[in-house]
Structure 1
Amino acid sequence: MVRKFVLISIVAVVCLAGCSEGRFPEKGAGVQRIDTCDGMIEYLQKQNLPALKSVEVWQNGYGPGVKITTKHYEILTTLLDPLMLSQVPGFMESAYLAYNAQLPEPIATTAKFTVYLFADRQQWEDFTKTFAGRQASLYCKIKAGAYYLNGACVVYNIGRERTFSVLGHEGWHQFNSRHFKFRLPSWLDEGVAMLFEAYRNDKGLFYFEPSRNMQRLGALKTMLIKNKMIPLKELIAMNPGEALVANDDAIMAFYGQSYGLVRFLREEGYGKRLSNFSQLLVDGLRGDWPLSEASKRIAADRNIPLTIRWNRAIGTQLFKQYIDSDSDLTGIEKEYITFCRKIVYHVRLK
């Protein structure tokens, strides 16, 4: 999930393929096939989904598609799966409420967020080669899932549960990139994003349950068993790109430990650090971090690419200012490791 924030232009696709603007069949005609655009539109409209505002044909160059509109999202998809498309409006609106729940007051979003959901990886890669410009080769290295870039989440189908998981994750990046005045350091941004990967569905409503995120818990337990935990002072200075060029263990450790760190700051000791953690987020939202003017400018201007050097400096500085001022973080690291062992105790590795 390496992300650089650059201004890119989307190249218009000349050859539009897929759905026609066909009307519904006249009375007495055969029932529409559900694997067609018109059939899917008719199916979704009949479901009376609370979160669904409208659905229409999406003309694009990648495959037959529909545009699903909710209160806060515009979902452009070539995935004509009735179960997933009937659930995705409610999932995204539930995620939006969960993102807002991280803040003291809800944020009113005026312009809708854009999500591209493709039926398969080939469509996703073809779109990425146009959409991501010079960075396309970097994003195409993502093994499975999604990315966030220039205001849009770009996802392809990797199965219903995992697809919704990456939508929840990337949706947080999209939400805070629009509304937070300052960009978050990597450990914080990725750690919070993983709070929205595990969920349960109850009668069309989605509830996020970080404690049931078995992917991250499994990674965390693996690193503990292998004795390959990244030291805390390195973790808070690291970004995903550094882990990506290292090895699979480094990637697993960075994400698993960032997930564990955010949960630790929210939960350990009956939430004794929750107030400080929440203030860190709120000050990032409002642009109130106590940084130098140069660092504030980089934090606020998303047209300036983030550098490893900036992330390392700010990640460490903010952690020490808001969470723990100990120079080597020895005391809090012991508590953190103990917490990690506690939350993975019940996890069975395959």
Structure 2
Amino acid sequence: MKKTILAFTLVIILFLGGCLAPSKKGEVETENTSYPLIITDQLGREVTIEEEPERIVSGYYISTSLLIALDLQDQIVGIENKPEKRPIYKLAAPRLLQRPNVGTMKELNMEMVLELEPDLVILPVKLKDNIEALEELGIKVIAVNPENSDLINEMIAIISKATNTIDRGDRLVEAIDRYTKKLGTLLDGIDEKTVYLGGNSEFLNTAGSKMYQDTLITLARGKNVATEIEDSYWVNVSYEQLLKWDPDVIILASEAEYSKDDVLNDTAIRDIKAVKNKAVEVIPNNIEAWDSPVPSSVLGSLWMASVLYPDKYSNEEFNLDVQEFYSTFYNIEVNVNE
């Protein structure tokens, strides 16, 4: 009898020991969202998510790209207008091009949103009135406002928690932080170059310190010549002001409606250092608009660093980093130089 009890005790000890033992190397413990949960969005609103969303409407290309990175493209039932303008959709989630369109950052198609019967809607804070109207109709809405690197990370955390993709969201934030630290290490103590960023619609439109594009420049260890401007949208400046700033480098927005040659041949700015030295470049847009706060926007800073300081960070190394990022989070193979 004693032997039987002893044997039984040993079995229990071994069983409990196995349960309590730490995970073996290589095993990953996943963190799941418990529903219902209350989250605070980027308008400061408390939103209760009752259960894991299965039908998501994204009225903002920033959040649509994030949902793809979180591997949630199959849950998206409606997206913003003109998805064909976003190469990443065709590359990573072509079925999104067939999804119903629900509007723009300026105007939301409320009827279409309601028709799609979403569990969750994600909208930019600029659509605050629509957000409140949807909330009154019982639709769960998360407002996002990723206007700097911290707010991008916060947006990722909010959406990944709401959609039960916390681990993937954490890995995305970790990758962004790793690339950011890489720039800090490579460019530590460098003599920073001054940069003028020309806008999409007009060359004399630029971004000040309150816009994400300022972060894009500063992470690459550039000095935004327009940092004194505190507007939260693109601002018109004069030729006289641009001549006064006299930037070392001119960068054109990824969707600029004018060309590099237009800038180089503009006689009004021929005496600017950047023009004299032909230091004018266009942000690539064959994958995503990295000069907007998409999850991959850190790649825009990496690209800019390769332009400003090629002896510290080469185009070849940049391309490898881009390939790693999109292979990991979008499951696609890309080449920036194509």
**Under a length normalisation based on structure 2, what TM-score does the superposition of the two structures give?**
0.26
Q: Judging by fraction of residues, say which structure has more helix.
A: 1
